[in-house]
């Protein structure tokens, strides 16, 4: 039996909340709607860590940051840690990446045979946080709120230029696969940087929405003194005192965010059209996911870096061969580090035979059978805005957030989907809080975790400082570019070139 091809469509900073019933029709995204109708949607899917690099490393390795050591946006992804791309190549797959994955360190492939583009973000240690001085702002790379106050329309931007290239190379690669010169099944990961801020969109997509129809946050900005401890740190991290954010700014930023999802949706539709045109539709599983979400002004918070639903819940949709599963919704919590074992299982591999211990579990049994009330989603955060490791556990209706430096938080998401009421200090919920505390005690050694993060930060700061003295040798990926073996050259057989590079071939 032939193996399915795998197409992974990864977007950046798209909140899973936008797929909820009260939000999904606000955003013009017909192609994502189509995937949802064809596939299984995991409505309570969470990021492994609400920040780009640790989220993506967990997606690649099936491991939480505490296990793989990728703690923040400047933490090295070790070349010795197997990724799903390594496992799939071992199972006979071609593997390629078009777009962002924010690998930090000298290994910029991590199992992919090909990277079709460079990355949009740096690969060095320059963005290393410092828990020895955790409340200091690092102005040259920390977020501030200028993305909100400068939101609007532009026909080209850093991000748009990047994602145009990502889509182009993804479509070209599918045509190359269609020629079937290499008979192996493929895993193509297409990873965009939108709708990640800055909130700047093309006029074409902006005009899909009326500004007055863009909803304002369900919870308006909470005064600093009334915020929880971590949210106060995030207010400081984005330099909120230097900006006066009003409803016009908020609506413009959200308008651009929605417009950029529509831009992405069109790119995704074009890629799927090429997939179908190349006769891959019935032989390809498609996974749609995001690395983390975006607060979009809810509670006065922007971007990510916390465990509230807008930032931590993500889209997660998987198409299957079973038409009876089309349009199915799964409520059991899952995470993005569940993707590696899921892909391995789809590729015919054995999760029990993986080289390294992982934290993820395949979602295929959930997709095809019943819900699992005991299954939990775990997430960690230990990057900018934090002062110690932060842990989130989502099980059934409860979300528990714990940090040794802060008061705990417990939310009943069935009764309180907007997370307004912290139940952690209420006598009626003390037993539940204790159960979650015991679970954290069992699964994590937080003193050791904190010490590992501090040690990693200190070492990386030394290396980064030294690397910037004298000649700087960057690790950023440089896609190979040679014209010697493209198109027609005199060391090639013209008939072979024309035959190999044509799709469809004559008489097919």
Q: Would you place residue 485 in the very low, low, confident or very high pLDDT band (cuts 50, 70, 90)?
A: confident
pLDDT for the residue 134: 86
Using the structure block, give the residue that is written with the tokens 């809810």.
Answer: 298
| pLDDT interval class at 11 (50, 70, 90) | very high
Average pLDDT estimate for 417-430: 96
Angle at 250 between CA 247 and CA 252, to 5 degrees: 105
How many other β-carbons are positioned within 10 Å of the β-carbon of residue 97? Answer: 32
Q: Which two tokens stand for residue 115?
A: 């990277």
| Number of residues assigned to the chain | 508
pLDDT confidence bin for 446, thresholds 50/70/90: very high
Domain count, the chain: 1
pLDDT digits (tens, 9 = 90+) for 153-180: 999 999 999 999 999 999 999 999 999 9
Burial of 268 (0-12, 13-18, 19+ CB in 10 A): buried
Q: What is the pLDDT of residues 300-351, one digit of tens each?
A: 999 999 999 999 999 999 998 888 899 999 999 999 999 999 999 999 999 9
CA 344/CA 61 separation, integer angstroms = 11
CB 227 within 8 A of CB 291: no
In a domain, 463, yes or no: yes
Averaged pLDDT for residues 376-397:
97
| pLDDT value of position 281 | 92
pLDDT beyond 80 at 507:
no
Q: Is 231 helix (H, G, I), strand (E, B) or coil?
A: helix
Containing structural domain, residue 166: 5-500
* CA–CA separation, 110 and 61 (whole Å): 10
Q: What's the CA gap between 228 and 222, in Å, rounded?
A: 10
pLDDT tens column, 52-71? 999 999 999 999 999 999 99
What the block records as the tokens of 45 is 């899917």
Confidence (pLDDT) at 308 = 98
In this prediction, residue 140 carries a pLDDT of: 80
Does the CA dihedral 446-450-451-456 come out positive or negative?
positive
Distances (CA, A) of 174 to 3, 32, 164, 260: 17, 19, 16, 24
Say if 505 falls within a structural domain: no
CB atoms closer than 10 angstroms to residue 246: 9
Bridging pattern class, strands 186-195 and 390-395 = unpaired
Q: Give the number of other CB atoms < 10 A from CB of residue 455.
A: 10
Please, what is the average pLDDT of the chain?
Answer: 95
Assess if residue 240 is contained within a domain: yes
Q: Is the pLDDT of residue 508 over 70?
A: no
Could you give phi then psi for residue 405, rounded to 5 degrees?
-90, -10
Q: What is the DSSP string of 418-482?
A: T-----TT-GGGHHHHHHHHHHHHHH--HHHHHHHHHHHHHHHHHHHHHHTSSS-----------
For 484, list phi and psi in degrees, rounded to 5: -70, -25
The mean-pLDDT minimum among 35-39, 134-138, 457-461 falls in 134-138
When pLDDT is averaged across residues 430-445 and rounded to a whole number, the result is 97
CATH classification of the domain holding 233: 3.40.720.10
Cα(157)–Cα(504) distance, rounded to whole angstroms? Answer: 36
- Nearest CA to 103 among 476, 467, 472? 476
Does the pLDDT of residue 405 top 80, yes or no? yes
pLDDT for 492 beyond 90: no
Q: Which residue has the higher pLDDT, 255 or 481?
A: 255
Residue 177 lies in a domain: yes
Long-range contact list for 444-450, CB < 8 A, 24+ apart? 444/66, 444/389, 444/391, 446/388, 446/389, 446/391, 446/404, 449/66, 449/382, 449/389, 450/131, 450/382, 450/388, 450/389, 450/404
- Higher pLDDT residue, 88 or 498? 88
Cα separation, 366 vs 440, in Å, equals 25
What is the pTM (predicted TM-score) of this model?
0.95
pLDDT at 1: 60
pLDDT band at 96 (very low <50, low <70, confident <90, very high): very high
Percent of the chain with pLDDT over 90: 89
Q: CA 162 to CA 159: how far, in whole Å?
A: 5
> What pLDDT, on the 0 to 100 scale, is given for residue 322?
87
* Band (482; pLDDT cuts 50, 70, 90): confident
What is the arithmetic mean of pLDDT over 353-359? 95
* Mean pLDDT value of segment 214-225: 96
Q: Active-site residues: which are they?
A: 52, 102
CB 113 within 8 A of CB 479: no
Q: What is the dihedral of CA 85, 87, 90, 95, to 10 degrees?
A: -20
For residue 506, tell me if it sits in a domain: no
Residue 411 backbone phi and psi in degrees, to 5: -125, 140
Could you give the C-alpha distances from 402 to 45, 379, 391, 410, 507, in angstroms and in order?
A: 19, 11, 5, 9, 63
**The pLDDT value given to residue 368:** 86
Mean pLDDT score, 435-455: 97
**How confident is the model over 472-487, as a mean pLDDT?**
89
CA 163 to chain centre: 15
**H helix intervals, 301-350:** 309-312, 339-346
**Residue 351 and residue 61 in contact, taking contact as beta carbons nearer than 8 Å:** no
Q: What is the mean pLDDT of residues 220-236?
A: 96
Instruction: Give the range among 198-207, 250-259, 374-383, 484-493 with minimum mean pLDDT.
Output: 484-493
User: Does 507 fall in a domain?
Assistant: no
């Amino acid at each position: 039996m032939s193996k399915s091809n795998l197409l992974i469509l990864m977007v950046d900073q798209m909140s899973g909340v936008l797929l909820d019933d009260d939000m999904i029709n606000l955003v013009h995204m017909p192609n994502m709607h189509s995937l949802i109708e064809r596939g299984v949607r995991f409505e309570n899917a969470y990021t492994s860590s609400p920040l780009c690099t640790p989220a993506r490393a967990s997606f690649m390795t099936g491991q939480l940051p505490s296990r793989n050591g990728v703690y923040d946006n400047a933490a090295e992804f070790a070349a010795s840690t197997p990724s799903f791309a390594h496992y799939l190549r071992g199972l006979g797959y071609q593997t390629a990446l078009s777009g962002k994955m924010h690998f930090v360190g000298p290994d910029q492939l991590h199992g992919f045979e090909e990277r079709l583009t460079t990355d949009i973000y740096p690969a060095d240690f320059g963005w290393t946080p410092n828990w020895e001085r955790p409340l200091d702002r690092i102005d040259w790379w920390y977020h501030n709120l200028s993305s909100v106050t400068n939101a609007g329309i532009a026909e080209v931007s850093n991000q748009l230029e990047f994602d145009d290239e990502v889509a182009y190379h993804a479509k070209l690669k599918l045509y190359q696969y269609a020629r079937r010169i290499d008979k192996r099944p493929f895993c193509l990961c297409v990873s965009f940087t939108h709708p990640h801020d800055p909130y700047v969109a093309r006029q074409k997509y902006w005009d899909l929405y009326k500004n007055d129809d863009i909803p304002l946050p369900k919870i308006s900005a909470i005064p600093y003194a009334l915020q929880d401890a971590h949210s106060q740190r995030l207010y400081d991290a984005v330099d909120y005192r230097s900006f006066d954010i009003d409803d016009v700014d908020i609506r413009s930023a959200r308008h651009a965010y929605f417009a950029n999802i529509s831009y992405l949706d069109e790119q995704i539709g074009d890629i799927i059209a090429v997939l179908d045109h190349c006769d891959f539709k019935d032989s390809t599983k498609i996974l749609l996911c995001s690395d983390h979400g975006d607060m979009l002004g809810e509670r006065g918070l922007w971007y990510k870096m916390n465990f509230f639903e807008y930032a931590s819940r993500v889209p997660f949709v998987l198409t299957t061969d079973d038409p009876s599963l089309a349009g199915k919704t799964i409520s059991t919590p899952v995470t993005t580090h569940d993707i590696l074992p899921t892909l391995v299982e789809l590729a015919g591999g054995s999760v029990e035979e993986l080289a390294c211990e992982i934290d993820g579990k395949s979602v295929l049994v959930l997709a095809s059978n019943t819900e699992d009330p005991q299954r939990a989603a775990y997430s960690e955060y230990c990057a900018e805005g934090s002062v110690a490791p932060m842990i989130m556990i989502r099980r059934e209706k409860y979300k528990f957030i714990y940090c040794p430096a802060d008061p705990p938080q417990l939310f009943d998401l069935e009764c309180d989907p907007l997370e307004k009421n912290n139940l952690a200090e209420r006598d009626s919920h003390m037993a539940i809080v204790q159960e979650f505390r015991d679970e954290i005690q069992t699964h994590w050694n937080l003193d050791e975790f904190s010490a590992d993060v501090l040690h990693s930060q200190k070492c990386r700061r030394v290396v980064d400082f030294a690397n910037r003295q004298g000649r700087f040798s960057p690790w950023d990926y440089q896609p190979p570019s040679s014209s010697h073996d493209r198109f027609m050259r005199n060391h090639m057989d013209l008939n072979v070139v024309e035959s190999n590079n044509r799709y469809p071939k004559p008489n097919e």
